[in-house]
Amino acid sequence: MIRVLLVDDQHLIRAGLRMLCDAQPDIEVVGEADNGREAIPLAGRLLPDVVVMDLRMPGVDGITATSRILAERPATRVLVLTTFGDDDHLYPALTAGACGFLLKDAPPTELLDGIRRAAVGDSPFSPEVLRRLVQRAVHARPGSPPALSGLTARERDVLNLVAEGLSNTEIADQLHIGVTTVKTHITSLMTKTDSPNRVRLALFARGV
């Protein structure tokens, strides 16, 4: 059972997420908070596997809450639920330790898949969010093609698909390999490129 804490200052969004999660046999909503100040002690007391975190909230925002929750319990996975209007908050949230970003208007199946992927250590990103982050970085600081001499041919294939925003499952399907193999390649890529997360890996692929 995946234990989930919902953090959002909009009651309707929390209610919708709770209904969606409660209908799943493997997901349990263990608590709710409408701001970061409430979320921090709740996370310490309820010990959720995944915190679904809004970024823009009154008082203590999602970035500060993410940083403090992970400082106290690094094993917790914080999945940001965002809008395109939150662009300026995404990089700080990554620095704070968020494991992924999904859009608030994403299909229910994508949200549920994101929670499940976060719980097992994956980094779920809506393709639109990942492309937006990469495009923003490229526009701000155009780079040159990265040095790929230390990568295998298969690692280059995986790297290019990560840059396109594909999930591990989608990469596995496209390359006709197992998901476990994809995870192994991504771990190797992060080590070889000194990338702490999936977004930095995508930016490396774009020479940023």
Per-residue pLDDT of the chain (208 residues; tens, 9 = 90+): 999 999 999 999 999 999 999 999 999 999 999 999 999 999 999 999 999 999 989 889 999 999 999 999 999 999 999 887 666 777 788 888 898 889 888 889 999 999 998 998 888 888 777 777 766 655 555 554 555 667 898 999 999 888 877 778 889 999 999 989 998 999 899 888 888 777 778 777 766 5
Pick left, alpha or beta for residue 107 (phi over 0 → left; psi -120 to 50 → alpha; otherwise beta).
beta
pLDDT recorded at residue 70: 94
Rounded Cα distance, 18 and 29, in Å = 7
Q: Tell which residue, 71, 42, 60, has the closest CA to residue 29.
A: 42
Tell me if residue 79 falls in helix, strand or coil: strand
Largest pairwise CA distance in the chain: 51
Q: Tell which residue, 132, 96, 102, 134, has the closest CA to residue 116.
A: 102
Environment class of residue 62 by beta-carbon count within 10 Å: exposed (0-12), middle (13-18) or buried (19+)?
buried
Cβ-based neighbours of 173, under 8 Å, separated by 6 or more: none
pLDDT recorded at residue 13: 93
Strand partners, 52: 6, 79
pTM to 2 decimal places: 0.74
Rounded Cα distance, 33 and 147, in Å = 45
